[in-house]
């Protein structure tokens, strides 16, 4: 790795010795055991593994949705353990986007209102305008005022993607984004995700069962029984792409 | 992010649930309506008293005495100037020759232009002005209708006959409820049968003054008051009347206010329960918002804004409804009001209702909303993540509960007639709610543990519904149980009291009393009674007297001493008897009752009734000096008795031993029993015809009056209880609606698994029957305990329960619960299964 690349490969997520255990009666159940890895800006990483291997727990801990039993998570330079609930929420608002398996759109809000929420939470006065732009970009420009129940599964997930990108996040967490979609719709959603990941240089962390989706990521971490079974590491192609972009000029400027 | 965002988000977030949310708040609407109606009416009433105080009093100032005014008082009255009128009031039998009827009435003999303010309303209207000149009488409407008396008929008061000039509709200072107890007859003072107002009779003498506006009545009265007191003359001014009426009416509407508060509290608990379920359905949204970066306070604030808006909407709707109800109150309370209360919107009452309604709703809603703080954002990834129950004590929750209890107590104190009453009220509501909640919790636990495998599937499922997650069994049992408790207690109490009066009419018990019989008439009256085949149960002498001194200190000195505890017992006129035996309505609590007569020269040992002894702060051996119509008699407290007042017997506060008062001026009372109403009426007419000064009263009259008064109070009380009961059913409706989503889900799953419509319907019916029965039985049992306690310790009456009526109440509660439950769940089965299974719930 060159010095120029080191400078550009800005670490956005650093997971070290992460462990999560629950007490169940007299037993201690360890769901995640000493997991360590880090991701840099723009990288896409698929976390795969059988059911119960700790994928969703890992995702939740990385996003600061839960607290670990041991180990640390640094997200965008912040030690999550040192932050209280509100500070973690503020960090998520600023740097994190989410995509859920069952979309998790707020059923009482229209598509545009759903997309606006993260921007409104940060006090963005142009929230509506940005939300409409994004919905148009994901192909829902004519459905902005529909409620989730009036949208198909694919449309709901596209709305969720628009919501995830409205604050131009540094990191995007996606939990089984195609889990509830048919193959064609799923493929279209994944295309959209990777396209936005590439153009906005967002770090993408996907939990998936879908081999095809996993293979499109630049990195693959396999979990089993709460431990990392295998990690492909940072792909050479990704490093080359970053280097090429660095030579060409800075990436799309963020707000 | 600002308030505007919170408002917008709260508004957006409520989409699809607004109808449901409005149903929740309708639970508080009735409570606020009752509160606003009563307060606004109270304000109108105070305004009316202020406006009509002179009319209430009929004059600017008055003197009042139990004895004819002394020369000193007469001279004082003359020195005051202005216009004067006089009134002499006494109870006397009035005889209506047309139907040979007699009835005890309050006779008002009037001289001069009284009332100076306000009108005596009569039919025909001019009769109020002409009856004095024409030496005729005005008769109360109730008396006239009882005996079919018409204008032009004749009546006799004592030995004087009067033509009936008009029927009285309304007079100053007296409400219709009072006239029920003692109907009035107005006659001119001149020409009255003076034997009726002689020594020993209970007569009130009054002088009314009318001054022009230059006279400062209050200052004048303040100046002469000490002199009047020396003469044992009472006085009144418009301001005093105003104060008295305001106090009395304020107490009346404050008691009603507590009933309104009950409905509001019940509704608020209902709102809290509905919000609890509503919030549990919203936790995923909260988790998503948290994932998107919303702070804990931000998500909490969105729901608090919803609660505030809900409280406001419910309270404003309640206030509007309350102003409608206010228009009904004068009808409900008409018989207790001496004045016209005109409808006026009281801004302060509306503001009070909205403020109390909103704050109580928000406080109650905050409790379940606290769960929002602990919703784990992980729920967005995994529904099972749920609410983080946290470790340790939730201090905010404890602080909130404390704030809630304090606020409710403060509102009750603000609302109630006396802080102690209000605190007792809050404690009683707390105890009843606590017991009902414990019953609910205990029952759900029991049902959960109970082996139900032998039951049909439908019953098992219905029972299981009562303890499934997010059940509202406790809340529903509380709401419906409390409503049932209120109705059942009132019903039982009414039964206890009426039963007690009825019991007095058992065979052989006396039911007719003749009084004001002069000693020389006694034998003749006894003969008349016996000649009609009726027994003379007892003949009792009565001597009127006043207290002169207590434990060596004169009452006069005590009245001058502002630190001395002077009560009604010190000031009142005593009607005492003398005898050497105890009656079966008396029981000696302390000391010894003098049965052996009295030896001249000894100190006279009297027997005092327990309550009076307490008021006078005297015990065995303390000295009391009575002024027996000018003669001081020194006595000592020989015994303290309890007296069963509710029998138709002559009962006394003070009983002298035989041998002391025989020579004092006295009159006799004869107690007898008439087997039929006709026999009673015949005997009364015969005695009054012969001896017009003798009065009589029979039990049927007392029973009628008590029943009538009770009916009117009952109407007013039921009117208020209705708010609580209706609220209970709205709470039930809201509770069922709020859990509708879950029910739809369940019924669809059951349907998918092959359950028929009938089975789903039966499961829900089983649940509501069980719920209704549990609430009804708990409410009725609790009310029986409360009635027992009230009967035993407050009314000292035998404990009886109106079992058939209570059965009807319980059945009605079960039917209504099932009815409301099934109506609000209708259509659940009709939902297409696929719709429900597809939509995220």
- What digits encode the pLDDT tens for the residues B641-667? 988 766 656 778 899 998 888 888 888
Decide: residue B428, CB within 10 A, 0-12 exposed, 13-18 middle, 19+ buried: exposed
Q: How far is residue B257 from each of residues B28, B332, B362, B460, B717, measured CA to CA in Å?
A: 15, 15, 21, 43, 11
Confidence of residue A7 (pLDDT cuts 50, 70, 90): very low
Structure tokens at B594: 């003098």
Task: Identify the pLDDT of residue A149.
Answer: 87
Residues B127-156 have a mean pLDDT of 86
Tell whether the model's pLDDT for residue B732 goes beyond 80: no
Q: Do B290 and A89 touch (CB under 8 A)?
A: yes
Give Rg (Cα) of chain A: 18
Is A148 in contact with A156 (CB distance < 8 Å)? yes
Contacts of B586 (CB under 8 A, 6+ apart): B641, B642, B643, B644, B651
Instruction: State pLDDT tens for residues B56-81.
Output: 788 889 898 888 889 999 999 999 88
Least confident of A33-37, B532-536, B621-625, B660-664: B660-664
Least confident segment among A141-155, B140-154, B624-638: B140-154
What confidence score (pLDDT) does residue A248 get? 58
Count of CB pairs separated by less than 8 Å, A with B: 96
Site from B9, B291, B374, B378 to mutate, A interface, most A CB atoms within 10 angstroms: B291
In the structure encoding, which two tokens stand for residue B321, read together?
């409804």
Local confidence band at B148 (pLDDT 50, 70, 90 cut-offs): confident
Report, as an integer, the average pLDDT of B112-125.
84
| More confidently predicted of B805 and A1 | B805
Nearest to B133 by CA among B84, B179, B93, B191: B191
Taking an 8 Å Cβ-Cβ cutoff, which residues of chain A contact chain B?
A: 56, 59-60, 63, 65-66, 85-86, 89-94, 96, 98, 100, 102, 104, 106-109, 113, 117-118, 120-123, 148-149, 163, 167, 175
CA-based nearest residue to A175, from A73, A94, A57: A57
* Closest alpha carbon within chain A to B296: A86
Give the nearest partner residue to B378 out of A60, A85, A89, using CB atoms.
A60
Nearest Cα of chain B lies from the Cα of A160 at a distance, in angstroms, of 11
CB-CB under 8 Å, B17 with A122: no
Contact B814, B725 (CB under 8 A): no
Q: What is the DSSP letter of B122?
A: E
* CB contact (8 A) between residue A108 and residue B381: no
pLDDT grade for B501, boundaries at 50, 70 and 90: low
| Band of residue B214 on the pLDDT scale cut at 50, 70, 90 | confident
pLDDT score for A169:
92
Using pLDDT thresholds of 50, 70 and 90, give the confidence band for residue B694. confident
Contact yes or no for B16 and A107 at CB 8 A:
yes
Angstrom distance (rounded) from CA B65 to CA B549: 20
Whether residue B591 is predicted with pLDDT greater than 70 in this model: the reply is yes
Q: Both tokens of residue B799?
A: 């404990």
User: Which has the minimum average pLDDT: B314-318, B357-361, B404-408, B490-494?
Assistant: B490-494
Nearest to B295 among A86, A98, A113 (CB): A86
Q: How deeply is A125 buried, as exposed, middle or buried, from its count of CB atoms within 10 A (0-12, 13-18, 19+)?
A: exposed
How far is C-alpha B829 from the geometric centre of its chain's CA atoms? 47
Whether residues A85 and B292 touch (CB distance < 8 A) is answered with: no
pLDDT value at position B841?
37
Facing B377 at nearest CB: one of A65, A90, A107: A65
Tens digit of pLDDT for each residue in B194-213? 877 765 567 889 999 998 88
Point out the residue among B15, B284, B293 whose CB comes nearest to the CB of A93. B293
Q: Put residue B174 in one of left, alpha, beta given phi > 0 → left and psi -120 to 50 → alpha.
A: beta
Kindly indicate the confidence band of residue A252, based on its pLDDT and cuts at 50, 70 and 90: very low
Which of A104, A123, A175, A205 best tests the B interface by mutation, with the highest count of B CBs <10 A?
Answer: A104
CB contact under 8 A, A94 and B12: no
On the question of pLDDT at B479 being above 50, the answer is: yes
- The pLDDT, as a whole number, for residue B147 is 80
Burial B177-216 (b: 16+ CB within 10 A, else e): bbbbebbbbbbbbeebbeebbeebbbbbbbbbbbbeeebe
pLDDT at residue B722 greater than cutoff 60: yes
**pLDDT level of residue B702 (50, 70, 90 thresholds):** low
In Å, how far is B26's CA from the nearest CA of chain A?
A: 22
Nearest CA among A252, A191, A250 for reference residue A216: A191
Question: What percent of chain B is modeled with pLDDT above 70?
Answer: 88
Peptide bond into B533 cis (omega under 30): no
Decide: A40 and A11 in contact? Cβ < 8 Å.
Answer: yes
* B17:A121 CB<8 A: no
Q: Which residues of A touch B389 (CB under 8 A)?
A: none
Average pLDDT over every residue of B688-705: 75
What is the residue-averaged pLDDT of chain A? Answer: 86
**Residue among B298, B380, B839 whose CB faces A149 most closely:** B839
The residue-averaged pLDDT of B246-261 equals 74
**Residue given tokens 């439908």 in the structure block:** B458
Q: Do B13 and A106 touch (CB under 8 A)?
A: yes
Q: Tell me what the mean pLDDT of segment A188-194 comes to.
A: 86
Span B681-704, average pLDDT: 78
Given A56, A93, A102, which is nearest B292 (Cβ)? A93
Higher pLDDT, B738 or A164: A164
Q: Which residue has the higher pLDDT, B743 or A6?
A: B743
Note whether A60 contacts B381, CB cutoff 8 Å. Answer: yes
Among A127-141, B97-111, B361-375, B482-496, whose mean pLDDT is lowest?
Answer: B482-496
pLDDT of residue A1: 44
Which residue(s) pair with A74 in the sheet? A14, A79
> Closest-CA residue in chain A for B836?
A149
Strand ranges in chain A using DSSP code E only, listed in sequence order: 11-24, 27-40, 44-48, 70-75, 78-79, 96-99, 171-175, 203-207, 219-224, 227-231
Least confident of B259-268, B328-337, B476-485: B328-337
Q: Would you say B124 and B164 are in contact if contact means Cβ atoms under 8 Å apart? A: no
H or E element: which one contains B75? helix B71-80
Residue B837 pLDDT > 80, yes or no? Answer: no
Nearest residue of A to residue B290 by CA position? A89
User: Per-residue pLDDT tens for B364-376?
Assistant: 889 889 888 888 8
Nearest to A100 among B15, B381, B839 (CB): B381
Res. B718: pLDDT tops 70: no
Mean pLDDT over each residue of chain B, to the nearest integer: 82
Best of A31, A91, A107, A170 to substitute, by most chain B Cβ atoms within 10 angstroms, is: A107
> Chain B residues within 8 A (CB-CB) of chain A?
1-2, 5, 9, 12-17, 284-285, 288-298, 376-378, 380-382, 385, 839-840
Report residue A33's pLDDT band, with 50, 70 and 90 as the boundaries: very high
> How much is the average pLDDT of A21-30?
84
């Amino acid at each position: 790795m060159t010095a120029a690349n080191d400078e550009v490969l800005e670490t956005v997520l650093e997971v070290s010795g992460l462990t999560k255990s629950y007490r169940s009666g007299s037993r201690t159940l360890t769901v995640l055991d000493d997991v360590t890895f880090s991701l840099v800006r723009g990288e896409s990483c698929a976390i795969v593994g059988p059911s119960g291997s700790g994928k969703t727990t890992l995702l939740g801990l990385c996003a600061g949705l839960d607290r670990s039993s041991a180990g640390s998570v640094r997200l965008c330079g912040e030690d999550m353990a040192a932050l209280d609930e509100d500070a973690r929420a503020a960090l998520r608002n600023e740097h994190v986007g989410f995509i859920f398996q069952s979309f998790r759109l707020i059923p009482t809000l229209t598509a545009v209102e759903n997309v606006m929420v993260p921007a409104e939470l940060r006090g963005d006065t142009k929230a509506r305008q940005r939300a409409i732009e994004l919905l148009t970009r994901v192909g829902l420009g004519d459905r902005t005022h529909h409620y989730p129940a009036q949208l198909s599964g694919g449309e709901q997930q596209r709305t969720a993607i628009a919501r995830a990108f409205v604050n131009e996040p540094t990191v995007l967490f996606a939990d089984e984004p195609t889990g509830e979609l048919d193959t064609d719709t799923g493929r279209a959603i994944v295309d959209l995700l990777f396209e936005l990941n590439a153009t906005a240089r967002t770090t993408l962390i996907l939990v998936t069962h879908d081999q095809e989706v996993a293979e499109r990521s630049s990195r693959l971490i396999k979990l089993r029984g709460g431990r990392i079974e295998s990690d492909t590491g940072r792909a050479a192609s990704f490093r080359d792409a970053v280097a090429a972009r660095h030579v060409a000029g800075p990436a799309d400027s963020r707000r | 992010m600002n308030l505007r965002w919170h408002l917008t988000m709260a508004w957006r977030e409520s989409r699809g649930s607004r109808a449901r949310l409005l149903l929740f708040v309708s639970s508080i609407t009735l409570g606020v309506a009752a509160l606003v109606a009563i307060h606004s009416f109270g304000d109108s009433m105070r305004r009316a008293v202020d406006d009509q105080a002179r009319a209430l009093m009929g004059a600017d100032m008055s003197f009042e005495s139990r004895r004819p005014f002394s020369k000193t008082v007469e001279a004082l009255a003359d020195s005051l100037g202005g216009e004067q009128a006089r009134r002499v009031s006494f109870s006397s039998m009035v005889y209506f020759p047309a139907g040979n009827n007699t009835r005890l009435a309050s006779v008002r003999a009037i001289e001069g232009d009284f009332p100076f303010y306000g009108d005596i309303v009569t039919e025909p209207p001019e009769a109020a002005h002409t009856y004095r000149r024409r030496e005729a009488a005005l008769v109360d409407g109730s008396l006239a209708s009882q005996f079919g008396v018409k204008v032009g008929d004749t009546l006799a008061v004592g030995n004087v006959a009067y033509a009936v000039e008009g029927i009285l509709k309304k007079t100053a200072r007296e409400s219709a409820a009072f006239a029920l107890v003692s109907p009035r007859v107005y006659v001119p003072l001149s020409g009255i049968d003076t034997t009726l107002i002689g020594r020993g009779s209970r007569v009130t003498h009054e002088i009314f003054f009318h001054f022009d506006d230059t006279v400062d009545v209050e200052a004048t009265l303040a100046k002469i008051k000490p002199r009047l007191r020396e003469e044992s003359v009472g006085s009144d001014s418009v301001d005093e009347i105003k104060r008295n009426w305001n106090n009395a009416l304020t107490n009346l509407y404050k008691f009603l206010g507590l009933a309104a508060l009950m409905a509001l509290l019940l509704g608020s608990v209902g709102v809290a329960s509905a919000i609890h379920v509503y919030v549990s359905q919203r936790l995923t949204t909260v988790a998503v918002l948290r994932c998107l970066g919303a702070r804990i306070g931000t998500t909490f604030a969105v729901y608090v804004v919803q609660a505030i808006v809900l409280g406001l909407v419910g309270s404003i709707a309640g206030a509007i409804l309350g102003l409608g109800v206010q228009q009904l109150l004068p009808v409900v309370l008409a018989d207790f009001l001496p004045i016209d209360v005109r409808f006026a919107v009281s801004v302060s009452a509306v503001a009070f209702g909205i403020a109390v309604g909103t704050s109580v709703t928000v406080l109650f809603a905050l409790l379940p909303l606290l769960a929002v703080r602990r919703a784990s954002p992980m729920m967005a990834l995994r529904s099972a993540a749920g609410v983080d129950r946290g470790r340790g004590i939730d201090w905010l929750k404890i602080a909130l509960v404390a704030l809630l209890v304090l606020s409710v107590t403060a509102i009750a104190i603000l609302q109630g007639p006396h802080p102690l009453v209000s605190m007792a009220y809050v404690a009683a509501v707390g105890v009843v709610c606590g017991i009902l909640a414990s019953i609910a919790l205990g029952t759900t636990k029991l049902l959960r543990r109970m082996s139900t495998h032998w039951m049909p599937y439908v019953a098992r499922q219905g029972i299981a519904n009562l303890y499934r997650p997010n059940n509202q069994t406790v809340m529903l049992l509380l709401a419906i149980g409390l409503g049932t408790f209120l109705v059942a207690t009132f019903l039982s109490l009414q039964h206890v009291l009426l039963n007690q009066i009825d019991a007095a009419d058992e065979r052989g018990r006396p039911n007719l009393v003749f009084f004001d019989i002069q000693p020389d008439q006694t034998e003749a009256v006894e003969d008349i009674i016996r000649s009609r085949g009726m027994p003379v149960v007892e003949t009792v002498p009565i001597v009127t007297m006043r207290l002169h001194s207590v434990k060596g200190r004169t009452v006069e000195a005590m009245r001058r001493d502002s630190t001395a505890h002077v009560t009604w017992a010190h000031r009142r006129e005593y009607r005492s008897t003398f005898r050497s035996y105890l009656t079966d309505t008396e029981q000696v609590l302390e000391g010894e009752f003098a049965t052996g007569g009295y030896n001249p020269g000894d100190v006279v040992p009297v027997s005092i009734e327990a309550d009076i002894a307490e008021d006078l702060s005297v015990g065995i051996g303390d000295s009391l000096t009575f002024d027996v119509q000018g003669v001081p008699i020194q006595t000592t407290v020989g015994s303290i008795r309890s007296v069963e007042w509710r029998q138709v017997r002559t009962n006394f506060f003070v009983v002298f031993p035989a041998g002391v008062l025989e020579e004092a001026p006295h009159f006799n009372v004869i107690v007898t029993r008439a087997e039929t109403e006709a026999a009673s009426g015949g005997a009364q007419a015969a005695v009054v015809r012969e001896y017009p000064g003798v009065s009589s009263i029979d039990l049927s009259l007392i029973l009628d009056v008590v029943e009538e008064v009770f009916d009117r109070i009952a109407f007013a009380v039921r009117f208020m209880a209705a708010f609580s009961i209706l609220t209970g059913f709205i709470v039930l409706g809201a509770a069922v609606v709020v859990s509708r989503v879950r029910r739809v889900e369940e019924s669809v799953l059951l349907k998918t698994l092959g359950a028929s419509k009938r089975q789903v319907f039966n499961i829900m019916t089983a649940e509501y029957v069980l719920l209704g029965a549990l609430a009804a039985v708990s409410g009725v049992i609790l009310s029986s305990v409360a009635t027992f306690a009230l009967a035993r310790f407050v009314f000292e009456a035998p404990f009886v329960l109106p079992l058939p009526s209570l059965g009807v109440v319980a059945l009605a509660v079960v039917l209504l619960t099932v009815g409301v439950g099934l109506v609000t769940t209708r259509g659940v089965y009709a939902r297409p299964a696929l719709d429900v299974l597809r939509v995220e719930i």
